[in-house]
């Protein structure tokens, strides 16, 4: 099975400045956009596979202060990515929440009612940082006369028996991954072992979605920019790529991916994955942690 599957939600390299990522949202902007805002401590998390085969992680947050909306004492958040048995999925847009962390959570709802951090990592600010302390002061000032109006998110309580339910048809799995693979590069950082040579030397096909490309960006310019980036990537590694054509994914690239080994590059955020319409690049990938390789 091919060990080089990546699913990109959006990739921005070499395209004119009109598509450059906008400035990071302000605290007041996130406060306005979010349905609820609170301070809390991460108490635990578990991953599961939904009915569409995607990996998600539920995380329990012990609420300490509420600045906007109504929240229970323990809230559950759901984000894309995690590890279930020998299947892993990573999404660099969503925050990596670890037990014990104290954060400021700006949350929004999905259509099914579940909650996620507004704007990804930017919606889960660590209070230990200087930026986090400044944000905390700003939120306390904004809510000095009482909690700001917002959503009642008590339906997303993380009480025992409700946090790790099968929601969406998924099932938690605590199987610990292991690896017997060789020819891996390892480091002192927290990044796990990874292959340094592409499996079997096969070409990785890639598709480009330019369905909602801004009118002032010519199609050929967008395609050339992507292909130049792909060429640079290939030149700096052992990876080999092959253009498979243009395609309207009809959804965000991570949701369109089905483990078929195709790299999907989407030059827009029409489906509002980043919450900005046009925003920072977002990458998602599937991998098999028990062999220490990308799938």
CATH architecture of 27-169: Beta Barrel (2.40)
Q: What is the mean pLDDT of residues 63-73?
A: 96
Please say whether the beta carbons of 80 and 279 come within 8 A: no
Write down the domain spans for the chain: 6-22+177-294, 27-169
In this prediction, what percent of the chain has a pLDDT beyond 90?
A: 35
pLDDT number for residue 21: 41
Statement: residue 10 has pLDDT above 70: no
Question: Encoding tokens for residue 162?
Answer: 């409700």
Question: Encoding tokens for residue 136?
Answer: 């905390």
Q: What is the mean pLDDT of residues 5-28?
A: 43
Q: Which residue has the higher pLDDT, 192 or 292?
A: 192
pLDDT number for residue 196: 57
The C-alpha atoms of residue 187 and residue 88 are separated, in whole angstroms, by 20
Q: Which of 60-64, 88-92, 120-124, 257-261 has the highest mean predicted lDDT (pLDDT)?
A: 60-64
- 293, burial (CB in 10 Å: exposed 0-12, middle 13-18, buried 19+): buried
Question: Encoding tokens for residue 140?
Answer: 């306390």
Please say whether the beta carbons of 264 and 207 come within 8 A: yes
Q: What is the mean pLDDT of the chain?
A: 76
Q: Which residue has the higher pLDDT, 96 or 168?
A: 96
Statement: residue 221 has pLDDT above 60: yes
CA proximity to 114, closest of 76, 59, 149: 76
Q: Tell me the torsion sign for CA atoms 211, 216, 220, 222.
A: negative
In this prediction, what percent of the chain has a pLDDT beyond 70?
A: 68
282-288 vs 87-91, strand pairing mode: antiparallel
Instruction: List, for residues 186-204, the tens digit of each pLDDT value.
Output: 566 555 555 556 666 788 8
Please say whether the beta carbons of 283 and 183 come within 8 A: no
């Amino acid at each position: 099975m091919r060990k080089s599957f990546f699913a990109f939600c959006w990739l921005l390299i070499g395209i004119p400045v009109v598509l450059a990522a906008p400035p990071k949202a302000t605290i007041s902007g996130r406060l306005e956009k979010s349905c609820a805002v609170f301070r809390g401590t991460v108490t635990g998390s578990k991953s599961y596979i939904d009915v569409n085969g995607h990996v998600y992680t539920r995380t329990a947050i012990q609420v300490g202060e509420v600045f906007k909306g109504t929240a229970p004492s323990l809230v559950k958040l759901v984000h894309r990515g995690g590890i279930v048995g020998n299947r892993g999925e990573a999404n660099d847009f969503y925050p990596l929440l670890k037990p014990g962390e104290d954060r400021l959570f700006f949350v929004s709802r999905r259509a099914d009612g579940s909650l996620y951090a507004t704007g990804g990592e930017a919606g889960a600010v660590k209070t230990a940082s200087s930026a986090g302390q400044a944000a905390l002061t700003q939120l306390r000032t904004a809510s000095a006369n009482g909690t700001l109006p917002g959503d009642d998110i008590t339906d997303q309580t993380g009480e025992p028996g409700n946090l790790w339910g099968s929601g969406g048809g998924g099932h938690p799995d605590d199987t610990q991954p292991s690896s017997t693979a060789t020819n891996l590069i390892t480091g002192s950082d927290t990044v796990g072992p990874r292959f340094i040579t592409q499996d079997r030397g096969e070409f990785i096909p890639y598709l480009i979605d330019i369905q909602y490309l801004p009118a002032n960006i010519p199609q050929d310019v967008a395609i050339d920019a992507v292909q130049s980036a792909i060429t640079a990537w290939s030149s700096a590694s052992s990876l080999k790529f092959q253009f498979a054509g243009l395609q309207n994914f009809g959804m965000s690239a991570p949701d369109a991916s089905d483990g078929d080994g195709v790299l999907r590059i989407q030059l827009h955020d029409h489906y509002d994955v980043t919450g900005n319409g046009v925003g920072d690049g977002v990458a998602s990938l599937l991998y098999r942690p028990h062999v220490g390789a990308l799938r």
